[in-house]
A = this chain, B = another copy of it.
Amino acid sequence: MSPRRRDSASTAAARAERRAELLAAAAEVFALRGYAVTTVREVADAAGILGGSLYYHFDSKESMADEILSAFLTDMWAAYEEVLDAGLGARETFRALIGASFQTIDHHRPAVVIYQNESKHLTTNPRFSYLLDSQQRFREVWLSVLDRGVLDGELRADLDTGLIYRFIRDTVWVAASWYRNDGPLSADEIARQYLAMVLEGILQPKEF
């Protein structure tokens, strides 16, 4: 390997790493304070540099949000695909998707918070139209799982699956708002209890 190549290799890597650091800082602040309300100076402060310096690495505040959300969605869909490709039954698919969701929250917590809070406003911008695409695909995946569950007799037929879908959509990501790596409950444990709640309800079973 020529020094030149090693140089440019390590440079490219170093650059990517720096970007990742800055994006992590940005995601944290966007999640905490809200994207619209966060100034790029605040992001820079969090990263320990000056406002203008961010523009050496990124085109705009918008592209930071873009990269943060894209990375999250890419990972999430990779995890979802893996589940969907496994050919499991409706119920197991359900469990696995929930598990994948909480794992994604574990890895992209601030991004999920941003996704949850800012999607509605960001999607007015064509640049973020992929958020809409993703939402639509998310809906299709979940509705198909729910409908299959009802057909298979595994899920109750007396509930509107559209309502169940919204219920799941609105609850699955919201955990990112309060979840902490270092909290008392692990991602897996939260997923387990979440599943128990959603599948079996919170009533004492003897009630039936």
A residues with a Cβ closer than 8 A to B are 33-34, 36-37, 91, 117, 120-121, 153-156, 158-160, 163-164, 166-167, 170-171, 174-175, 177-178, 185, 190, 193-194, 196-205, 207-208
In the assembled complex, the CB of A45 is this many whole angstroms from the nearest CB of chain B, namely 16
| The residue from B33, B155, B164, B193 contacting A160, defined by CB atoms under 8 A apart | B193
Q: Is the CB of A121 within 8 A of B207?
A: no
CA distance A153 to B201 in the complex (A): 14
Residue of B170, B196, B208 near A208 (CB, 8 A) is B208
Give Cα A37 to B91, complex, Å. Answer: 41
- Taking the nearest CB of chain B, how far is it from the CB of A44, in angstroms? 15
Is A155 within 8 A of B34, CB to CB?
no
A207 CB, nearest partner CB in chain B, Å: 7
- Which residues from chain B contact A204 at a C-beta distance below 8 Å? 153-156
Contact of A199 among B155, B177, B196, B203 (CB under 8 A): B203
- Extra inter-chain contacts (11) besides given A34-B121, A158-B196, A163-B190, CB under 8 Å: A37-B121, A91-B203, A155-B202, A156-B196, A156-B202, A156-B203, A159-B196, A163-B194, A170-B170, A170-B171, A200-B200
**Residue with the highest number of chain B CB atoms closer than 10 Å, among A154, A196, A197, A198:** A197
**Assembly CA distance A153 to B202 (angstroms):** 11
Given A36-B37, A117-B117, A159-B193, A203:B154 Cβ within 8 A: yes
- Residues in chain B near residue A197, CB distance under 8 A: 159, 163-164, 167, 198, 201
How far in angstroms is the closest Cβ of chain B from A58? Answer: 17
Q: Across the interface, which residues of B come within 8 angstroms of A155, CB to CB? A: 202-204
**A168 to B, closest residue via Cβ:** B202
